[in-house]
């Protein structure tokens, strides 16, 4: 059964899109990630124009982060104050990101930059995760105790001025790195269509030393608003949000996530992370191959849409 995507302007098989959404939803539930960093490359593989894939990916992340953040809110593992400070940076970053996006699009380098960023990001994150999970597997094999870095330790981040007390997180922290982190992730949200949780969560734990229990909920909380903002701005500046595509993806995604969560609870953490790492590396490698392989046609033509 085919469905016509009005903004991407092409017909797709609805079951492939549903399958994509469900599979990524399943993985995101299993690993506790948003899934935007997998959805966007998969859409590009399926010939959805990168402009549409990025904007629609951001829209889809609104749904997945919303359902995640709500359950964290109910459990009380969400620091609204910390999330709001992150959000200030995030909105500023997303605004800058949209501007970069439009600029790259006008000079015809958008597709290239999106692919390059994904190759770098997926390659780095995948490698780090794989190494970390292999180390963890070795440790558990030799029955060594798992040594976590204690979150009480201080580093250069904690010497910065403009400190603020975050009661829920039980932390006294400068707002500069928080806003800076939000800003950086905000740019990625606009340019790559990701929520950025897979970068934000480790950065909050290891760099800002924020207690682990509030990290995921808080990052999801701010991701809702940054991706929502990005969706609206993409819709008004680039007209590239495909609501039909986004809706199919998000419905399949939230259902897939529920099953992912159940399976994830039964499997062992480090093996799970190694699997995800391999998947992330595979997607990155595929994008890298597409950049290097001689294209079928070195020419391309686009209509500017000035008189649309």
List the structure tokens of 304.
């500017």
CB 6 within 8 A of CB 242: yes
Give me the least distance between CB of 49 and another protein, in Å please: 14
Output 107 or 148, the one with its CB closest to another protein: 107
* Chain residues that interact with another protein, rule: CB under 8 A: 4, 6-7, 9, 59-60, 62-68, 70-71, 74, 108-109, 112, 116, 224, 228, 231-236, 239, 241, 243-244, 246-247, 250-251, 254-255, 257-258, 291-292, 294-295, 297-308
**Residue appearing with tokens 């060594």:** 144
Looking only at the bridges linking them, the beta strands covering 163-166 and 171-174 are antiparallel
Query: How far apart are the C-alpha atoms of 40 and 37, rounded to whole Å?
Result: 6
Nearer CB in complex with another protein: 123/202: 123
Shortest distance in whole angstroms from residue 191 CB to another protein:
17
Shortest approach of another protein to residue 260 CB, angstroms?
A: 11
φ, ψ of residue 2 to 5 degrees: the values are: -100, 150
To the nearest whole angstrom, how small is the minimum distance from the Cβ of residue 255 to another protein? 7
- Shortest separation between residue 247's beta carbon and another protein, angstroms: 6
Q: Quote the least distance from Cβ 294 to another protein, whole Å.
A: 7
Q: Which two tokens stand for residue 198?
A: 């897979």
Q: Is 88 exposed, middle or buried (0-12, 13-18, 19+ CB in 10 A)?
A: middle
Write the CB contacts of 67 (distance below 8 Å, at least 6 apart in sequence): 254, 257
243 or 278: CB nearest another protein: 243
Instruction: Select 110 or 210, whichever has its Cβ closest to another protein.
Output: 110
Q: Are 56 and 246 in contact (CB under 8 A)?
A: yes
| Residue 131 or 232 with smaller CB distance to another protein | 232
> Rounded distance, CA 105 to CA 99, Å?
10
294 CB contacts (<8 Å, ≥6 apart)? none
Identify which of residues 176 and 288 has a Cβ nearer to another protein in the complex.
288
Angle in degrees, 0-180, between the axes of helices 14-31 and 50-75, rounded to the nearest 10: 40
Q: Is 109 helix (H, G, I), strand (E, B) or coil?
A: coil
Please report how close the Cβ of residue 127 comes to another protein at its closest, in angstroms. Answer: 20
**Cβ proximity to another protein, 46 vs 247, nearer residue:** 247
Q: CB within 8 A of 5, min separation 6: which ones?
A: 11, 12, 48, 52, 242, 244, 245
């Amino acid at each position: 059964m085919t469905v016509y995507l009005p903004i991407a302007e092409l017909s797709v098989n609805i079951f492939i899109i549903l399958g994509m959404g469900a599979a990524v939803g399943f993985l995101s539930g299993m690993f506790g990630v948003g899934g935007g960093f997998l959805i966007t490359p998969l859409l590009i593989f399926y010939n959805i124009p990168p402009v549409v894939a990025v904007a629609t990916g951001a829209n889809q992340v609104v749904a997945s982060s919303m359902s995640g953040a709500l359950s964290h809110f109910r459990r009380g593992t969400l620091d609204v104050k910390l999330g709001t400070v992150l959000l200030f940076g995030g909105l500023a970053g997303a605004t800058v990101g949209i501007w970069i996006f439009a600029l790259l699009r006008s000079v015809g380098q958008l597709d290239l930059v999106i692919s390059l960023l994904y190759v770098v990001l997926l390659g780095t994150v995948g490698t780090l995760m794989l190494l970390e999970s292999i180390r963890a597997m070795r440790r558990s094999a030799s029955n060594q105790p798992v040594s976590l870095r204690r979150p009480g330790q201080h580093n250069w981040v904690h010497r910065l001025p403009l400190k603020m007390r975050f009661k829920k997180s039980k932390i006294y922290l400068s707002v500069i790195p928080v806003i800076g982190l939000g800003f950086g992730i905000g740019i990625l949200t606009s340019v790559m269509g990701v929520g950025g949780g897979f970068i934000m969560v480790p950065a909050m734990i290891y760099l800002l030393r924020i207690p682990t229990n509030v990290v995921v909920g808080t990052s999801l909380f701010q991701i809702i608003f940054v991706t929502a903002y990005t969706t609206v701005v993409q819709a008004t500046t680039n007209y590239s949000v495909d609501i039909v595509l986004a809706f199919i993806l998000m419905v399949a995604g939230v259902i897939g996530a529920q099953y992912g969560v159940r399976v994830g609870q039964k499997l062992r953490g480090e093996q799970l992370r190694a699997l995800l790492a391999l998947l992330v590396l595979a997607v990155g490698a595929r994008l890298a191959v597409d950049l290097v392989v001689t294209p079928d046609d070195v020419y391309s033509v686009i209509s500017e849409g000035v008189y649309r």
